Amino acid sequence: MTTSKLLAQIPDSYFGKTMGQKVNHGPLPLVNMAVGIPDGKTPQIIVDKFIEAIQEPSNQKYVAFHGKASFKKAIVDFYKRHYDVELDQDEEVCILYGTKNGLVALPTCVVNPGENVLLPNPGYTDYLAGVLLARANPYSLELKPEFNYLPQWNDVDNHILNNTTLIYLTYPNNPTGSVATRSFFDETVERFKDTKTNIVHDFAYSAFGFDTKNPSILQSEHAKETAIEIYSLSKGYNMSGYRVGFAVGNKDMIASLKKYQTHTHAGMFGALQDAGTTALNECDDFLLQQNEIFKKRRTNFEAALNKVNIPFEPMKGGIFLWMETPPTFDGESFVEYLLQEKSILVAPGIPFGDNGKNYVRISLALDDHDLNEGAKRLQELAHLY
């Protein structure tokens, strides 16, 4: 097999390697708490629109490379309605075939070889691939529990920061379940707005904020001078298989992403855009229901762990709980122990950065029966702590 030197230096994707693989586990029925795909159905109104749109002759041909005006208007209206953010649908919106594509492509679009990119540690695993494909230099942006997993800009080495072109942020954070505040985004935008450093905020779990609604970075004054935000329909609307998302914000970064896309694909299937338009325009109530479902799951699951004093990070948003391993385990060895002893599958913390070495990530995207069963089996391991 022939592989380029560039591709060879990029680590295999953890979830690309493990998702869908056969799992060898102990004698109990498997409880899979590793996958971050919401377990509910897509709202019927979206499914019905998709079925109708597939049969529309205009959707059976190429559509405009940069998206239908109706879908872009729905994005603009959504951001105005939910965040009071004004967007120009032609210059400040880029439609994405899955947000991962945009997150991985972005460094190639806006970072030069040899420049620095700061990646949250812990944070989503596949940001690194985008940086390496752009021949840029990845640096760890340290996120610590004592600061609620928010970066402390004054603690970042100035030599690294001065040559940093792009910073990745993601709140609610995958994997820790921590959230950002409006004041943090205000401070961050103020810090970088007149520098060469741009920001991309991965807002994939935007719908899930349990104590308060998650802020958009674009709500901060001057944010569009330095930041874009990438929004996914996968999690909030149970549309992970549709692969629909978008980037909004800084017009120069948006223009670069759009130019890149004209060379990599010929526009999103029109029926998907129509389904996405229906989601954004007509399903606000469903987002509220999703949040309530996961808030209840979070509350019950945390209560079960607290009852037996198993340590974890408080889950303020998203769909994952970040749990410490027992003292004699690291994340990878504890994953194997859980599989063999309790037939529970979770994700090790280390793929999310070396700050995750002694953690595992637990998904709450399971029905109540499996969640309760998983919690009960974990309670039986309290003696390990």
Instruction: Render pLDDT for 247-303 as a digit per residue (tens, 0 to 9).
Output: 999 999 999 999 999 888 878 888 899 999 999 999 999 999 999 999 999 999 999
Rg (CA), the chain: 21
Q: What is the pLDDT of residues 49-59, one digit of tens each?
A: 999 999 998 88
CA angle at 160 for the pair 157 and 164, rounded to the nearest 5°? 130
- CA distances (Å), origin 37, targets 48, 239, 344, 366: 21, 9, 17, 9
pLDDT of the residue at 342: 94
Residue 139 in 3-state DSSP? strand
List all residues 6 or more positions away from 8 whose beta carbon is below 8 Å from its beta carbon: none
pLDDT of the residue at 1: 62
Report yes or no: 371 and 346 within 8 Å, Cβ to Cβ. no
What is the rounded CA–CA span in Å between residue 172 and residue 180?
Answer: 7
pLDDT of the residue at 21: 66
Q: What is the pLDDT of residues 141-193, one digit of tens each?
A: 999 999 999 999 999 999 999 899 999 999 999 999 999 999 999 999 999 99
pLDDT of the residue at 17: 56
Please state which of the ranges 30-34, 82-86, 217-221, 316-320 shows the lowest mean pLDDT: 30-34
Tell me, what DSSP letter sits at residue 91? T
pLDDT of the residue at 129: 92
Q: What is the pLDDT of residues 121-141, one digit of tens each?
A: 999 989 999 999 999 999 999
Nearest one of 40, 29, 56, 80 to 218, comparing CA atoms: 80
What phi-psi label fits residue 114: left (phi over 0), alpha (psi between -120 and 50 degrees) or beta? left
pLDDT of the residue at 225: 95
In this predicted structure, the answer to whether residue 97 has a pLDDT above a threshold of 70 is yes
Report yes or no: 26 and 342 within 8 Å, Cβ to Cβ. yes
Return the higher-pLDDT residue of 9 and 232.
232
Return the higher-pLDDT residue of 100 and 310.
310
Report yes or no: 354 and 120 within 8 Å, Cβ to Cβ. no
List all residues 6 or more positions away from 123 whose beta carbon is below 8 Å from its beta carbon: 141, 143, 168, 170, 173, 174, 175, 352, 353
Average pLDDT for the chain: 93
Helix, strand, coil percentages (3-state) for the chain, rounded to 5, are: 45, 15, 40
pLDDT of the residue at 187: 97
How remote is the C-alpha of 344 from its chain's centroid? 23
Give percent of the chain above pLDDT 90. Answer: 82
Position 326, amino acid: P
Other beta carbons within 10 Å of 64: 15
pLDDT of the residue at 20: 55
Residue 169 exposed, middle or buried by CB count within 10 Å (0-12, 13-18, 19+): buried
What phi-psi label fits residue 84: left (phi over 0), alpha (psi between -120 and 50 degrees) or beta? left
pTM, two decimal places: 0.95
Domains with residue ranges and CATH for the chain = 5-42+285-384 (3.90.1150.10), 61-283 (3.40.640.10)
pLDDT of the residue at 15: 65
Nearest one of 236, 144, 217, 221 to 190, comparing CA atoms: 221
pLDDT of the residue at 35: 82
Give percent of the chain above pLDDT 70. Answer: 98
What is the rounded CA–CA span in Å between residue 376 and residue 192?
Answer: 46
